Amino acid sequence: MRSEPEGLTGHVLDLDAIYHVLDAKSDYGREIVRQSVLRNTTLLLPAVAAQCMTGLRPRQADALLAVPVVTIGGLPAADVPGTAQLSRKMAAGLERHARGVSTQSELVAVLAAAHAVVLAEARGGWRIVTSTPHLYDEISGVRLEILP
């Protein structure tokens, strides 16, 4: 695992974590955003998740994206093969555990989770904030911050 560049830190929010925050499902989710602002630490949204969020909830998306520490992590062409491979591995893991990917929204969540892993690894192992930790069962070395 690569070491984190000095002075840069943050969390990657997967799709379910983004909706958890937007829906104010817990004080913990709000506190992650508040502490990130206070400490000037990045909240990185995978592009797949951000696109989904802006398409389905444009006003809430605008509000979240207006938070100064929130940014979108792109999916450059070089990262597409790795993200696709992780997506297949995650989907296969869900199928093995009788939680198969059955809807388009679940497929998007898997793609966003795979992109979150790529983003977290590229930043030296940032934690991925999620409310669906089972998505990551097949991926070793991932650091999760699980929302209640």
Q: Tens of pLDDT along 129-148?
A: 999 999 999 999 999 999 99
Cα–Cα nearest to 135, from 148, 144, 123: 144
Tell me what the mean pLDDT of segment 45-59 comes to. Answer: 94
pLDDT score, position 96 = 76
Give me the half-sphere count of Cα atoms (radius 13 Å) on the Cβ side of residue 67: 25
pLDDT recorded at residue 101: 60
CATH superfamily of 10-146: 5'-nuclease (3.40.50.1010)
Domain ranges (residues) in the chain: 10-146
Average pLDDT estimate for 61-76: 95
Query: What pLDDT was estimated at residue 3?
Result: 42
* Mean pLDDT (whole number) for 7-21: 92
Q: What is the pTM of this model?
A: 0.89
Burial 8-27 (b: 16+ CB within 10 A, else e): ebbbbbbbbbbbbbbeebee
Tokens of 116: 């979150």
